Amino acid sequence: MTDAKDERRPAGELEATVMAALWAAGVPRTPGQVQVGLAMDLARTTVTTILTRLHDKGVVGRERQGRGYAYFPVEDAPGLTARRMHSELDRDTDRETVLARFVARLSTDDERILRELLESGEQ
């Protein structure tokens, strides 16, 4: 019988939870402070590992605080989503086909928004 505690979480769930806590805080937070702000029960060492991995990916920055670090998001949620989209695009050598298929699957509203953004030159 599998204990619910032993079940694997979906990929990225813990990182997303930690990022949400950092965005909500609005100021740099130590791993212990992040841990207290989480809705789920995670060990401080787990939170530290997640924050270190996010820092290695360039998703969070950190500043020295005492003997450790306080972490802060480098981008807001839409910026992080855009970064992930670019990362996925960079994994494929046929960018034109990937972009064409992406655009072909856009909803009518999303296509309109994309067209308006491209025409206005906004980013």
For 30-89, write each residue's pLDDT tens digit.
Answer: 999 999 988 788 899 999 999 999 999 999 999 999 999 999 999 998 998 888 888 888
Whether 49 and 92 share a structural domain: no
**What is the 8-class DSSP label of residue 91?**
T
**Which pLDDT value is given to residue 4?**
52
Asked if 74 contacts 59 with a C-beta cutoff of 8 angstroms, the reply is yes
Q: Same domain, yes or no, for 69 and 81?
A: no
Are both 26 and 61 inside the same structural domain?
Answer: yes
Q: Residue 27: give its domain's CATH number.
A: 1.10.10.10
Q: Is residue 46 part of a domain?
A: yes
Q: Is the pLDDT of residue 7 over 80?
A: no
Residue 31 near residue 51, CB atoms below 8 Å: yes
pLDDT at position 40 is: 83
Is the Cα dihedral 30, 31, 36, 38 positive or negative?
A: positive
Answer yes or no: do 58 and 13 share one domain.
Answer: yes
**Looking at the domain assignment, is residue 35 inside a domain?**
yes
Residues 47, 27 share a domain: yes
Domain count, the chain: 2
Does a structural domain hold residue 63? Answer: yes
Q: State both tokens at 31.
A: 């791993």
Instruction: Please tell me whether residues 83 and 43 are part of one structural domain.
Output: no
User: What was the pLDDT predicted at 25?
Assistant: 94
| Structural domain boundaries enclosing 54 | 9-73
The pair of structure tokens assigned to 2 is 């599998």
Give the model's confidence band at 2: pLDDT under 50 very low, under 70 low, under 90 confident, else very high: very low
pTM above 0.75, yes or no: no
